[in-house]
Amino acid sequence: MLFDYVRIALLSIRRKKARSFLTILGIIIGISSVLIITAFGNGGKVLIANELNQLGIDGLSVRAKYEEVGLADMLRSDDVEYLQQSVSAIETAMPYAITYSTCMVHSTESETVIWGAGQNVDRIVDFELLYGRLFSFKDISTSARVCLVTDDFARDHYHRTNIVGKNIYLNINGKYEDFTVIGVVKNGAAMLQSLASDLVPQFTYIPYSTMGESKGNSYIEQIVVRVREGEDLEDVSQQIVKLLNRRHGMKSGYYVDNMNEQKERLNSVLDIVTFIIAVIAAISLLVGGLSVMTLMLAIVGERTRDIGIKKAIGAKRRDILFEFLVESLVLTLIGGLIGTAFGLLISSVVSAALGIPLVVQTQVILITFGFTSFIGIVFGVYPAYKASKLDPIEALRFD
């Protein structure tokens, strides 16, 4: 019986292809928009997480409470060694500082993010050394004016990638200083910079001791800690704070930021933005539902005489009701199928073009299909009910 209703619905849609397609266009746009938005919303989360991990923003950041400790108890380089020796869960630790500043190359000034880093910077930041070398113990101990730049930086300023031995000027603490390029690296976060080049400037790396000296600091601003896989970050954080307080004779002089929590907060914001945009896109589904109801009312008018004949030969009200309800549902489901295919196609093309991960969740497809079916039923009820209520005698008189 259900198959007969579906067959009648498909025959009706085939007879009026253009009208049926225009009717379900809102459904197609709504479904494809929701899929595209959620796919790239989830893909954006994966991209940002990977990029931040490659920048080393996936561990713990240890800082002193400036209002609690004196200069003598600020973090020092020996605190880094102490933590690595005392906490087995620490994979690596590095003195770390960062400042948003400018650089000067060939009399051209541009923005840059200057990282103060240690010898083991390659174990914290995910990058590949293309030319030259990384920082040595001597560079750190003598606060050498040397730097690492990215291949993008080299290409932008010198139109080639190997610029080892070249000199650039970095603005640290309001004063330009001459630095020699000792290495060119391929930054793991190149995708983030290429997609948001106006917001994320090029990175430049210098010894943390050099940055401290240029700023007039005899202490370390912070220590970045990468924890071994499987270890509990909260437990490690508590160990670090306890050890530093005991070492410096403080009650509460230090704190640890879990940078993974910062990423989770960012993901929460992305989830909210994605949800809001998806809801706005889903409004077109309601518009499509209204179009379906309008079409079904028109079909009821066109088939008034047919309805009268069916009732005259024994068709019951529920038969007429189900016939039009199934047709409404079939219309919206066809729109849902086309919209899903179109949404996945567009998402795949854009993903391949921009290099953004494509994350399509099965539950999103199921939810949108469920909502589409709901719309087909809700907006098909009134036309179906109206058709089932027609008086057979009056319907047969209809011309």
Could you read off the pLDDT of 272-308 as tens digits, one per residue? Answer: 877 787 777 777 777 777 888 888 778 777 777 776 7
> Measured between alpha carbons, how far is 224 from 241 in angstroms, rounded to an integer?
13
pLDDT at 160: 94
- Which is nearest to 274 in space by CA: 32, 35, 37? 37
- Average predicted confidence (pLDDT) for the chain: 82
Look at residue 67 and give its three-state secondary structure. Answer: coil
Among 6-10, 164-168, 361-365, the minimum mean pLDDT is found in 6-10
For the entire predicted model, the pTM comes to: 0.63
Give residue 146's pLDDT band: very low, low, confident or very high (50, 70, 90). very high
- Cβ atoms 383, 293 nearer than 8 A: yes
pLDDT at 317: 76
Mean pLDDT of 72-95: 88
Q: Where are the domains of the chain?
A: 2-51+265-397, 66-252
Q: Would the pLDDT of 42 be above 90?
A: no
Among 66-70, 76-80, 121-125, the minimum mean pLDDT is found in 66-70
- Cβ atoms 351, 357 nearer than 8 A: yes
Half-sphere exposure of 394 (CA within 13 A, CB side): 6
**Residues 6 or more apart whose Cβ sits within 8 Å of residue 343:** 31, 32, 33, 34, 35, 36, 39
Mean pLDDT of 21-37: 83
**Residues 6 or more apart whose Cβ sits within 8 Å of residue 177:** 145, 169, 170, 171, 214
> 176 to each of 173, 186, 204, 320, how far by Cα in Å?
8, 25, 14, 83
Q: Would the pLDDT of 197 be above 50?
A: no
Among 59-68, 184-193, 282-291, 305-314, the minimum mean pLDDT is found in 184-193
Q: Helices (H), strands (E): how many in the chain?
A: 14, 10
pLDDT at 396: 63
> Measured between alpha carbons, how far is 1 from 378 in angstroms, rounded to an integer?
22
Mean pLDDT of 218-228: 86
Mean pLDDT of 26-53: 77
Q: What percent of the chain has pLDDT over 70?
A: 87
301-322 pLDDT tens trace: 777 777 677 777 777 777 777 7
